[in-house]
Amino acid sequence: MNLAAATNENLANISNVLIYSSMAVYTLAFLAHIAEWTFGSRSKVGRTAAALTTKGTSAAAAPAAPAVTVKKAGGTAVLERPKVVTRTASGSRDVPDGPGAHGGTEKGDMYGRIAVSLTVLAFLVEAGGVATRAFSVMRAPWGNMYEFSITFSTVAVGAYLLFLALKKNVRWIGLILVTTVLLDLGIATTWLYTDSDQLVPALDSYWLWIHVSTAIFCGAVFYLGAVGTLLYLFRDSYESKLEGGGTPGTFAHSVLSRLPSAASLDKFSYRINAAVFPLWTFTIIAGAIWAGDAWGRYWGWDPKEVWSFVTWIVYACYLHARATAGWKGRKAAYLALFAFATWLWNYYGVNIFITGKHSYAGV
């Protein structure tokens, strides 16, 4: 046996322990996020924001002035004004962003900070699990669906934490993200787990580092965009109901009044999808080059190739729709969600249910 190609079982076992440990920490982060939303629901700021939304969404009236809250910082009164944004997708509503999951309460904010801290810890533990998996066989840690899944969730959380580090208003993603990561890791460890081993010959190439890593990164960022798009649809319905004089349910009001405005969510999703689309284009091109090296042809209508191209087409249609007068707002949002659904099908469905040259080993 070639010792250089042997599997380091000790590192492989450490990787498994780290992945399960990260799941435990993510669970604690999930509970902290629940506490953040729970205590934040008691906030007067949230009710004020909702009242402002009702006033500010009147088509005939001028934009309402944002509420002003007063905090004390070292004995000095500091005025904090919610950011007012103007809808860019459809309509002309001027609506303030909600106060966030913490709802403006100190206790809610405390639990939110704990949740973020636990998410950072879980990310580091999971990243350690991915790294030790790679070192156990001295190769890229995405040679099968299990490895792809644990790397995907790691990158998604890493992208979220990077946005937070850049002072972007994305803490509202935290609860959904942690929940999804736990689901992803649960599926990976339960149904997709594959023992650490060497690559099948077709994957043993430096293109594995280039092509698959960019595919994982694109998918992780597309996921964040999809979350923003989904929440945009809920928040848009909430604002429309208030604009029409309706009364949202207590739960819907408690949650949706604290989210960023529909305009902010729409802008966030669009910018993310637009930014990562060129990289997805590169992913397909890199895959074609790798296919030429491995199989002697650049394109063979393999299921993975076809669905990667379908995903590209749908995202291209979405970006084009945003520049077309009749396809803004909710219509474009539905198209964006459909685009991410094609990516998900390419991620799970093609590998598991369809046989092709791209089917991962051990699945």
> Is the model's pLDDT at 320 over the cut of 80?
yes
**CA distance readout (Å), 243 to 81, 174, 266, 329:** 22, 28, 18, 16
pLDDT tens digits, one per residue of 331-358: 999 999 999 999 999 988 888 887 655 5
CA 328 to chain centre: 22
pLDDT in the model for residue 6: 76
When pLDDT is cut at 50, 70 and 90, the band that residue 129 belongs to is very high
pLDDT in the model for residue 63: 38
Instruction: Kindly list the domain boundaries of the chain, sorted by start residue.
Output: 141-353
Count of CB atoms situated within 10 Å of the CB of 223: 26
> Is the model's pLDDT at 76 over the cut of 80?
no
The CA distance from 225 to 21, in Å, is 28
- Give 7: exposed, middle or buried? Use CB within 10 Å, 0-12, 13-18, 19+: middle
Count of CB atoms situated within 10 Å of the CB of 354: 16
Q: Which residue has the higher pLDDT, 252 or 283?
A: 283
For the chain, give the percent of residues with pLDDT over 70: 81
> Is the model's pLDDT at 263 over the cut of 80?
yes
pLDDT in the model for residue 7: 84
Query: Would you give the DSSP letter of residue 5?
Result: G
- Give 296: exposed, middle or buried? Use CB within 10 Å, 0-12, 13-18, 19+: exposed
> Is the model's pLDDT at 120 over the cut of 90?
yes
> Is the model's pLDDT at 47 over the cut of 60?
no
Count of CB atoms situated within 10 Å of the CB of 338: 14
Nearest-CA neighbor of 330 among 266, 238, 246, 256? Answer: 266
The CA distance from 176 to 173, in Å, is 6
pLDDT in the model for residue 363: 53
Given the structure tokens 């609506």, which residue do they identify?
A: 95
Nearest-CA neighbor of 215 among 284, 264, 265, 153? Answer: 284
Quote the mean pLDDT of the chain. Answer: 84
pLDDT in the model for residue 349: 87
Q: How many residues does the chain have?
A: 363
> Is the model's pLDDT at 204 over the cut of 80?
no
- What the block records as the tokens of 282 is 């590169």
Non-local CB neighbours of 235 within 8 Å, separated by 6+ positions: 256, 259, 260, 261, 262, 265
pLDDT in the model for residue 28: 98
pLDDT tens digits, one per residue of 284-300: 999 999 888 888 888 88
DSSP symbols for 50-111: HHHHHHHT-SSSPPPPPP-EEEEETTEEEEE-PPEEE-SSSS--EEEPP--TTTT-HHHHHH
**CA distance readout (Å), 93 to 43, 169, 282, 287, 350:** 24, 20, 37, 44, 42
pLDDT in the model for residue 118: 98
83-97 mean pLDDT: 58
Q: Which residue has the higher pLDDT, 191 or 358?
A: 191
> Is the model's pLDDT at 4 over the cut of 90?
no
199-223 mean pLDDT: 88
Q: Are 157 and 119 in contact (CB under 8 A)?
A: yes
1-7 mean pLDDT: 55
DSSP symbols for 162-201: HHHHTT-S-GGGHHHHHHHHHHHHHHHHHTS-----PPPG
pLDDT in the model for residue 296: 84
Among the ranges given (55-69, 108-122, 232-246, 252-266), the one the predictor scored with the smallest mean pLDDT: 55-69
**CA distance readout (Å), 198 to 1, 3, 7, 214:** 13, 12, 7, 21
207-229 mean pLDDT: 95
Q: Which residue has the higher pLDDT, 244 or 232?
A: 232
Nearest-CA neighbor of 180 among 357, 344, 351, 353? Answer: 344
Among the ranges given (148-152, 189-193, 320-324, 333-337), the one the predictor scored with the smallest mean pLDDT: 320-324
